[in-house]
Amino acid sequence: MSVRFSDNVSAKAQRDILDLQKKISVFTNGELTDEQFRKFRLARGVYGQRQPGVQMIRIKLPHGRITADQLIRIAEASDKYATGNLHATTRQDIQLHFVKLADSPQLWADLEDANITLKEACGNTVRNVTGSARGGVDPLEPFDITPYAQAIFEYFLRNAICQDMGRKFKIAVSSSEKDSAYAYIHDIGLIPRVQDGKRGFKVVVGGGLGAQPFMAQTAYEFLEADQVIPFTEAVIRVFDRYGERTKRHKARMKYLLNDLGLEGFLAKVEEERPALNAKVFPVDTTAFDLPLFAERPEVSGYQPESTDVQFLEWFNTNVFEQKQKGWYAVQLRVLLGDMSSNTARALAGIVKKYAADDIRVTVNQGYLLRYVSPENLQAIYDELHALGLAEPGFDSAADITTCPGTDTCNLAISSSYGITRALEDMMKVEFKDLIYNNDIKIKISGCMNGCGQHSAANIGFHGSSLKNGAYVLPALQVLLGGGFNSKNEGLIGDKVIKVPAKRGPAVLRALFQDFDANAFDGEYYSDYYARQGKNYFYQLLKPLADLKTVTEQDYIDWDHTEPFVTEVGIGECAGVMIDLVATTLIEATEKLQWANEALEESRFSDAVYHAYNTLITGAKAALMTKDVATNTQHGIVSDFDKHFTGVSGFHTAEGEFKALAFSINKNEPSEAFARQLIQQAGQFLTAVNAYRDHQIMLEGSPALQELVQAQDS
């Protein structure tokens, strides 16, 4: 069935969607390997679930910004193609689950009609650019970061330099020094500053979570705003060139920075400057420099006269006055980040009635509404309350951030949703005042990979398992001391102890009781943890880790009735037999085609980078004919010179291929250079194909090799 497009869908988006439909057809007919298709679809927001035969669709919402009509469109898509649920993520995306693969092109087309994209929402790309949800209304911000986050998103969407990276790349923009977007755990993090009357950012690089978390390092205390996008492009180029590509667990930029050191890394970033498409990139902020509505100082500092206790709790924990005097922002706490399509439509109606058409999905899986008049706060509370969206304690200790865990994820080990419900229920009964505590953040992930950002929490948990004799039970790894301390310094939590999952509420109860009894007045939790030390908390929780006292219930995970079994979800394929060299040469040919298309459209920087990738991929194919293992682009270039100098059909001088490949960072991306490099890349690819044909003529057809699908992550 052909995809139906409205007139609102851009030509670029139509091409992307038709490419997806074509690849689905080719894959279904068995003409495309699972790994090739997986790589393709992930970069288009289509992600395999734990359950076979269905997909998770990740919708890319730059800095979480969405209009009421866009929210309605997503709700309609969920009703038509998914389960009628919208799941907000820690990267300010919205995900739909249980979508049939064949439905994904039309789903995408329906969303693009409302200017919503799936492009590069997953895979080894520049992922969604996150930003403080308070950007533009934050009383603490030096300026609105919204236009800068949007410009970064637009610049790198479909950009040639991030179409074939070795691993994903994440960018965050905070609105103030409080770093509410968690810049310190990102590949690039930006914090706004003003110096000598000029706008700019503190820039940190090389942060990341996962099994081995890294704190980002400071590249610049102040970088002028028009230098941020050029710097980011140069960083991505270095990561692309030197980053690990074979050992997936070592392929994030944090490891490259660790290997090169900050000084060496920044030196390589500077080497990329000649090749940059834009040496400066000023961002047009005029649409954001003035308030949406005139300020109302006469109602600044509003305090309701209501005697409704629930309303007052909500007002004191979920509402704040914007920097625009007399206007108020309303924050919505959403359990598990899940919202039904009917609730989403009703929320869109509330926004149209009472707020500005500028909703923000928050990094803690909630929503923020802007420009609410104080005289409408009671009415908006009443309507939100009727929808179950007026729970007090937004972003408090009682508001847990969590990933979906074993409900849908291939990699999850134990339930995230179940333990989150149990902990929030326990706190609501036993620690009611935690809705007023904004210093403690609790985050949960279903495994060590950290989608729930557990390492960046004051109290974090990630799913695991424990062996007790011949049996296995679901477990929680407890992490403490992450998040922010009283100096607003970002911290990575320590792994303290592992306990049976069913004892999670007892763990949290013990931690809160200990904190209440022994902390100094006003002491931040991470400061308290640092003062007491890791061993203190290990000893505190050790009795709860004692497996001699387990019961039958400890062998059953939250939200389950059957005994726990350690398993990774069903993979997306079995092994397939392919000619790896031929497959790689096909990829190189496709990249050469992209280079020529970019040249025809006068996108000379893109043309140059696609031509460079043609050289790299062709050289990789040639090295595979000699069974030479490769792991970085820089290594491929060096190994090709080593193994193919003097080989008939190629260059004769040592270092000639290196000079050709790395000419990209020594030349301006002009039309003349693009044409020259594309021509050289085409000649090189012809030579590699001829060499391969000659090898087959002498040695016979190659033995097919088994390619085993890796899990999504």
Write out 503-530 in H/E/C secondary structure. Answer: HHHHHHHHHHHHHHHHCCCCCCHHHHHH
Q: Cα–Cα distances in Å, from 638 out to 234, 242, 585, 664?
A: 21, 12, 19, 16
State the pLDDT at residue 702: 58
In this prediction, residue 652 has a pLDDT band, given cuts at 50, 70 and 90, of low
Distance of CA 397 to the CA centre of its chain: 23
Q: In what order do the strands lie in the sheet with 471-480?
A: 401-402, 442-445, 459-468, 471-480, 494-500
What per-residue confidence (pLDDT) applies to 384?
98
* pLDDT for the residue numbered 701: 62
Q: Cα separation of 365 and 395, whole Å?
A: 9
| Residue 713, domain member (yes or no) | no
What are the counts of helices (DSSP H) followed by strands (DSSP E) for the chain?
A: 19, 24
* Residue 620 domain flag: yes
- In a shared domain, residues 368 and 486: no
Give the confidence band of 449 by pLDDT, cuts at 50, 70, 90.
confident
Examine the pLDDT at 578 and tell me if it is beyond 60: no
Each residue's pLDDT tens digit, 597-647: 999 999 999 999 999 999 999 999 999 888 888 889 999 999 998 898 888
* 566 domain residue, yes or no: no
Q: For the beta carbon of residue 470, count every other beta carbon within 10 angstroms.
A: 5
- DSSP code of residue 371: E
Q: What are phi and psi of 127, to 5 degrees?
A: -75, -175
d(CA 33, CA 429): 53
3-state helix, strand, coil in the chain (%, to 5): 45, 15, 40
Mark whether 281 and 347 lie in a shared domain. no
Cα distance between residue 184 and residue 252, in whole Å: 15
Tokens at 553, concatenated: 């219930």
**Residue 197, pLDDT above cutoff 50:** yes
**Domain total of the chain:** 5
Write out the DSSP string of 114-152. Answer: TT-B-TTSSSSSB---EE-TTTTT-TT-SS--HHHHHHH
Q: Which domain holds residue 459?
A: 401-555
Q: What is the pLDDT of residue 567?
A: 63
CATH code of the domain covering residue 191: 3.30.413.10
> Is the predicted pLDDT of residue 574 greater than 70, yes or no?
no
Nearest-angstrom CA–CA distance, 6 and 205: 41
Alpha carbons within 13 A on the beta-carbon side of 319: 25
Report pLDDT for 713: 33
pLDDT tens by residue, 487-517: 999 999 999 999 999 999 999 999 999 999 9
- For residue 632, which of 622, 647, 643, 620 has the smallest C-alpha distance? 620
Q: Over the range 669-706, which residues count as b (16 or more CB within 10 Å of their CB) and which as e? A: beeebbbebbebbbebbebbbebbeeeeeeeeeeeeee
Beta bridge partners of 338: 87
In a domain, 237, yes or no: yes
Q: 68 and 177 share a domain?
A: no
Residue 654 inside a domain? The answer is yes
| pLDDT given at position 299 | 95
- In tens, the pLDDT along 261-293 reads 999 999 999 999 999 989 999 999 998 988 999
Of 16-25, 209-218, 462-471, 562-571, minimum mean pLDDT range: 562-571
Residue 394 within any structural domain of the chain: no
Q: Does 646 lie in the same domain as 545? A: no
The DSSP call for residue 531 is: H
- Picking from 11-20, 72-81, 361-370, 702-711, which range would have the lowest pLDDT averaged per residue? 702-711
Q: What CA–CA distance (Å, rounded) separates 354 from 370?
A: 9
The encoded tokens of residue 268 equal 């390589």
Radius of gyration of the chain (CA): 26
- Asked if the model's pLDDT at residue 572 lies above 70, the reply is no
Give me the pLDDT at residue 580, please.
Answer: 74
Q: Are residues 88 and 18 in the same domain?
A: yes
DSSP state of 422: H
Backbone angles phi, psi at 692, to 5 degrees: -65, -45
Same domain, 172 and 257: yes
Boundary (domain end) residue, out of 488, 520, 555: 555
Q: Does residue 318 carry a pLDDT above 50?
A: yes
User: What DSSP line would sit under 452-475, residue for residue?
Assistant: T-GGGSSEEEEEEEEEETTEEEEE
The one-letter amino acid at 8 = N
Pair 498, 414: CB distance under 8 Å:
no
DSSP code of 82? S
Residue 321, sorted as left (phi over 0), alpha (psi -120 to 50) or beta, turns out to be beta
Whether the CA torsion 162, 167, 459, 221 is positive or negative: it is: negative
Domain co-membership, 283 together with 302: no
Helices 534-541 and 525-532, interaxial angle, to 10°?
90
Predicted pLDDT of residue 577: 38
Could you tell me if 424 and 355 lie in one domain? no
- Rounded to 5 degrees, what angle do the CA atoms 32, 35, 39 make? 100
Same-domain status, 309 and 237: no
Instruction: Write down the pTM of the prediction.
Output: 0.91
With bands split at pLDDT 50, 70 and 90, how would you rate the model's confidence at 712? very low
Q: Could you report the per-residue pLDDT of 127-178, keeping only the tens digit for each? A: 999 999 999 999 999 999 999 999 999 999 999 999 989 899 999 999 999 9
Has residue 244 got a pLDDT over 60?
yes
Residue 31 is predicted with a pLDDT of: 75
- Which CATH number does the domain housing residue 301 bear? 3.30.70.3340
Q: Look at residue 156 and tell me if it is in a domain.
A: yes
Give 367-423 pLDDT, tens digit per residue.
Answer: 999 999 999 999 999 999 999 999 999 999 999 999 988 877 878 888 899 999 999
Distances (CA, A) of 697 to 556, 684, 688, 690, 691: 60, 20, 14, 10, 10
How remote is the C-alpha of 40 from its chain's centroid? 17
Mean pLDDT over the full length of the chain: 92
- pLDDT for the residue numbered 450: 81
* Residue 368 sits in the same domain as residue 442: no
CA distances from 447 to 98, 211, 415, 573, 625 (A): 21, 9, 9, 22, 38
Please tell me the distance from the alpha carbon of residue 115 to that of residue 150, in angstroms, as a whole number: 14
Q: Where is average pLDDT lowest: 282-286, 295-299, 702-706?
A: 702-706
**Same structural domain, 415 and 511:** yes
Q: What is the CATH number of the domain that holds 30?
A: 3.90.480.20
Residue 683 above 60 pLDDT?
yes
The confidence score (pLDDT) of residue 246 equals 82
Three state DSSP letters for 222-265: EEEHHHHHHHHHHHHHHHHHHCCCCCHHHCCHHHHHHHHHHHHH
Q: Is 569 domain-assigned?
A: no
For residues 282 and 229, what is the distance between their CA atoms, to the nearest angstrom?
Answer: 9
Q: Return the pLDDT at 708.
A: 38
Could you tell me where the DSSP H helices lie in 168-225? none
Do 282 and 162 belong together in one domain? yes
Distances (CA, A) of 538 to 447, 450, 509, 525, 534: 21, 22, 15, 16, 6
